[in-house]
Structure 1
Amino acid sequence: MNVLGQLGFVVASLVLAGVLLFLNFWRTLLFLFPGTVRIEPEAPADQMDLPEALAPLEGQLQALGFTPLGSHEEKPLLQKATRSYDWAHPGERVFATLYLGRDDLPRLYLLTPLASGGFVVTAGYRRPALDLPGYRSGSLEGASPERLFRAHVRRLDGLDRAEPGAFTWEGRVQAGRSWYQGLGRKEIRRQNLQGLLWTAIALAIVAGAFLGRRAG
């Protein structure tokens, strides 16, 4: 291969590697350091700026007996914060959280902290299924809030839920922090393993491009 050909190969390799790193490096950081996700309260219930796309789900949650708590933001390293909108059902001791996904589609999941420090999570979109001591996570893709709520409550049978006083805005923020720093780590790493692999491929492309040019 002539010099221009070698240079073109190196440039193309670096561009491809750069794109892969841009898309996946933050997922690698999340895989390695899930506890670094920053969770902060954003606005109380009477000041929540709910996106129009989430309004129908809000109405269905209120019909089920959920009351608004407020909003919070979750910010991984190198990414913009995602704003989430929280409700609680004190009777059943369930948090409900709405947010817009990266595809701008509405997302809803239900979360119950357990007295043991564990969690039960049920999502209305695709999510890894896990059943570990003190931790259950699963999904019913496309389910209505009512169906999701019934399924979540059934999954709580036999489990000791956190006290009703924990189902406040402050309690929801603390539950999120505890999830990222504790039992949620396994699920986060499963979700972001592909990002770690693509980052490794990108670094291998960079190394191969420079080593190949040096050998040439």
Structure 2
Amino acid sequence: MPYGLILSCLGVAVGGALGSALRRWIGADVREKLPMICGMTAICSGILSVIRADQMPVVTLAVVLGVALHLERRVRAGFGLVLRRLALPDSFDMEEYITLVAVFCCSGFGLYGVMLESFAGEHGQMLSKAMLDFIMALIFGGSMGVSVSIIALPQALIFTAFFFLAKLLMPVMSDAMLLNFIACGGLLTIAAGMRMAKIRAYPLIDLLPALVLVLPFTGIWQAMAG
């Protein structure tokens, strides 16, 4: 039973709704400063993942080719259609919202945690993410309203897909594939942290295809090297 996966999605849904309800009690200084602090911690977490890469050239190639697909424009347009039906607060920022979508749904920490929960039954990492997701959703719910809770829907879809894919992929994944996958997730987490901390606005959603491309690229690299 994917307890961590379920709790992580509930953390976003409940945290966003609660943050929206408690908006008047969450000070503007808290809403401004805590996202920057979360961004810096995300950068540190991402660095720890990137240094585990087995072949950094493979990770770089996967990222470069993934960016060429320009997914962020399509995702932004899709969320725009959904969110325009909601009464959004004046402080709503679409750039920040897309950052949250990437952090909640596609961080290397979360995707690896889902895969670990699937093939090893280890819930610890996902339970940790559930707690972090709840706190972040609560904070951002104060500035973006109930729109934060909606992120739980794509998060549930993506995490569920990776949960079942892990059962198929893990038996055939080499150690190098796994390490390069984690490194790709780390790069995405660093980019999200820099965007959250308002250091640099990297196209986060454009980085997502790298998480898929890095697996066959690693296999090809190993075949060529062998």
| TM-score interval (norm. to shorter) | under 0.3
**Structure 2 length-normalised TM:** 0.23
Whose strand fraction is larger, Structure 1's or Structure 2's? 1
Whose helix proportion is higher, 1 or 2?
Answer: 2
Q: TM-score, normalised by structure 1?
A: 0.23
Structure showing greater radius of gyration is 1
